[in-house]
Amino acid sequence: MVNPHMYYLNKVMSSLFLDTSVPGEERTNFKSIRSVTDFWKFMEGPLLEGLYWDSWYNNQQLYNLKNSSRIYYENILLGVPRVRQLKVRNNTCKVYSSFQSLMSECYGKYTSANEDLSNFGLQINTEWRYSTSNTNSPWHWGFLGVYRNGGYIFTLSKSKSETKNKFIDLRLNSWITRGTRVIFIDFSLYNANVNLFCIIRLVAEFPATGGILTSWQFYSVKLLRYVSYYDYFIASCEITFCIFLFVFTTQEVKKIKEFKSAYFKSIWNWLELLLLLLCFVAVSFNTYYNVQIFLLLGQLLKSTEKYSDFYFLACWHIYYNNMIAITIFFAWIKIFKFISFNKTMSQLSSTLSRCIKDIVGFAIMFFIIFFAYAQLGFLVFGSQVDDFSTFQNSIFAQFRIVLGDFNFAGIQQANPILGPIYFITFIFFVFFVLLNMFLAIINDTYSEVKADYSIGRRPDFELGKMIKQSYKNVLEKFRLKKEIQKAEQMKKWKERLEKKYYSMEIQDDYQPVTQEEFRELFLYAVELEKELHYINLKLNQVVRKVSAL
């Protein structure tokens, strides 16, 4: 599902649209946008130059390639780009009475309830009129909120001059207002060399506090999945996977019917059920994803004069990839079930299983102190230090402190008194005390497990037990076959000897023994001695077991 070409394609596209600066202003690019003026400079500069070049499409073919950059030559723009804005209504927040004479308008943060659905500005084109969404794309989760589809939308022209005039017209007529909360720039590219689609979304969020926060998404996905011979090999592997999934599901259903409630007492059985559930979800995602590609891809590729919404397919590709990643993670964890016959691995699993209760008790105490420090850091430094700007950021910042990555200067500057106190006490209690207690619990349990193993109290695990049992069964079969052969041979020897030396028909007591008969008598005596030795061993084992009781 992932190959290095995806990373390199994302890197090329991000350097083109994120790192390219405005001509004459080397520090102004999409990442550094902080005002509406910077935003329009980016739209009329780097974005315009990135999307358009000296030559455009003519019946899906490029002309004048000698004047084109290699980036443009290798990637084809699918359809036309789209720009979309979401706004909030006026009076979605309340102005304090003492300031109402100075400020009559109030635009709150974005929520679906606060969204402005009315037309504004010139009210002549789609960019001034609210449009509902006709796609199934998921809502966008940004820094400041979750933004739904629809909004004030316009698509760009295939002419660079027309698009530039469009941007200038929107800027002069104040398309971005005080109620603007987010602007999306969506477009898609295709690279035939590696058979990858790159779906790009540039996002500019306008918080109620002012300023602009930028973010971006670059999804390189393989929508045309079965093209080469290797792709068909992958398809055969997927079919084989489905067959194995059916077989394993049947086996687990039989086990549940056989063992009933006892089946659910093993953690490995729960892991098996979880893996089967994840596999079924992954197969469902894959089926739905391929059906949507079959239904939508052809239509999207034909609509060259309109915006082609590949974002929906890209999101489902990411969902499917994430599900596969989680499934494979638990499949790797399941390997512990099969390597328990190894002494080191069995000691590790025994240590973790034996100290789990102590770890849970310790974890409760650890997180009480950890969250207390996280709340302290958020309240003291939250308004000034980015690492503590939210409670979640405070938690991650403290994990980074434990790992040695911290910004002590920022903490000290935010609060010269509480900053050093917070840092020193956190390092002392969490790093020097609690973490060492955690290591002591594991070390003490490991010592106990190692001592038990040294005196032979090693637990039996499934794979080791299975291998041992199979080995014993094979030995018993061979031993039984050998014993039967020996018994038959000894029976023949006995019958021959009795017939020769103990026959009632023979009157003479003296019977000469031939060399062959002497050899048979000797072998018979040896076999009797072996049987006697085997019986003595079994008798000694029984005596030792009785003595142990």
Token pair of 157 as six digits: 């022209």
d(CA 60, CA 99) in angstroms, rounded, equals 58
Whole-number pLDDT of residue 282:
92
Q: How far is CA 278 from CA 114, 204, 206, 284, in A?
A: 38, 36, 39, 10
Q: What is the mean pLDDT of the chain?
A: 82
Residues 155 and 65 sit within 8 Å (Cβ to Cβ): no
Work out the average pLDDT over 8-21.
Answer: 89
Worst-scoring range by mean pLDDT, 18-32, 45-59, 236-250, 359-373?
Answer: 45-59
Q: Give 123 or 139, the one with higher predicted confidence.
A: 139
Q: Name residues whose C-beta falls within 8 Å of residue 518's C-beta, 6 or more positions apart in sequence.
A: none
Q: Which two tokens stand for residue 108?
A: 């709150």
Residues 352-368, mean pLDDT to the nearest whole number: 87
What pLDDT shows up at residue 456? 61
d(CA 178, CA 317) in angstroms, rounded, equals 36
Q: What is the pLDDT of residue 503?
A: 53
Provide CB contacts within 8 A for 273, sequence distance 6+. Answer: 252
Judge whether residue 12 has pLDDT over 80: yes
Identify the bridge partners of residue 217 per DSSP, sorted by sequence position: 201
Average pLDDT over residues 185-204: 91
Mean pLDDT, range 183-204, rounded to an integer? 92
DSSP letters for 363-388: HHHHHHHHHHHHHHHHHHHTTT-GGG
Cβ-contact 197, 188 below 8 angstroms:
yes
69 or 427: which carries more pLDDT confidence?
A: 427
Confidence of residue 138 (pLDDT cuts 50, 70, 90): confident
Helix intervals (H) in 201-266: 229-259
Q: What's the pLDDT band for 3 if we cut at 50, 70, 90?
A: confident
The average pLDDT across 522-537 equals 74
Q: What is the pLDDT of residues 21-48, one digit of tens each?
A: 877 777 778 998 989 999 999 998 888 8
Which tops the pLDDT comparison, 352 or 428?
Answer: 428
Neighbour count for residue 353 (Cβ, 10 Å): 13
Place of tokens 């023994």: 513
Where is mean pLDDT largest: 120-129, 162-171, 292-301, 449-458?
162-171
pTM beyond 0.85: the answer is no
Residue 82: what are its φ and ψ, rounded to 5°?
-130, 140
DSSP 157: -
Percent of the chain with pLDDT over 90: 32
What pLDDT, in 10s, does the model give residues 275-294? 999 999 999 999 998 888 88
pLDDT digits (tens, 9 = 90+) for 530-548: 777 777 777 777 777 666 6
pLDDT of residue 64: 35
Distances (CA, A) of 531 to 106, 130, 169, 542: 101, 97, 106, 17
Each residue of 363-401: pLDDT tens digit?
899 999 999 999 999 999 988 998 898 899 999 999 999
Q: Look at residue 540 in the predicted model and tell me its pLDDT.
A: 78
Tokens of 83: 């720009």
pLDDT band with cut points at 50, 70 and 90 for residue 297: confident
Query: At 188, which helix (H) or strand (E)?
Result: strand 180-191
Going by C-beta distance under 8 Å and a sequence separation of 6 or more, which residues neighbour residue 116?
87, 88, 89, 130, 179
Gyration radius (Cα) of the chain, Å: 38
Domain 350-455: CATH class, spelled out:
mainly alpha
Q: Contact at 8 Å (CB) between 127 and 170? A: yes
SS3 310: coil
**Cα torsion 59, 61, 64, 70: sign:** positive
- Residue 284, CA atoms < 13 Å, CB-side half-sphere: 7
Residue type, 39: F
pLDDT at 67: 36
What percentage of the chain exceeds 70 in pLDDT?
A: 82
CA 62 to chain CA mean position, Å:
39
Identify the top-confidence range among 121-130, 172-181, 354-363. Answer: 172-181
Q: Is 41 helix (H, G, I), strand (E, B) or coil?
A: helix
What confidence category does residue 500 fall into, taking pLDDT thresholds of 50, 70 and 90? low
DSSP assignment of 50-94 equals: HH--S--EETTEE--GGGS-HHHHH-EEEEEEEEEEEEB-TTSS-
* Distance in angstroms (rounded) separating the CA atoms of residues 31 and 376: 31
Question: What pLDDT, on a 0 to 100 scale, did the predictor assign at position 280?
Answer: 94
Bridge partners, 202 (sequence order): 185, 216
pLDDT of 164 above 80: yes
Domain limits of the chain?
Answer: 4-221, 229-340, 350-455
Supply the pLDDT for residue 87.
94
Per-residue pLDDT at 342: 64
> Dmax over Cα atoms in the chain, in whole Å?
145
116 in Cβ contact with 91 (< 8 Å) = no
Sorting pLDDT into bands at 50, 70 and 90, what band is 339?
confident
310: nearest Cα among 299, 319, 320, 321: 299
Per-residue model confidence (pLDDT) at position 491: 65
Give CA–CA dist 192/74, Å, rounded.
7
| Region at 180 (left for phi over 0; alpha for psi -120 to 50; beta for the rest) | beta
Query: In the predicted model, what is the mean pLDDT of residues 441-465?
Result: 72
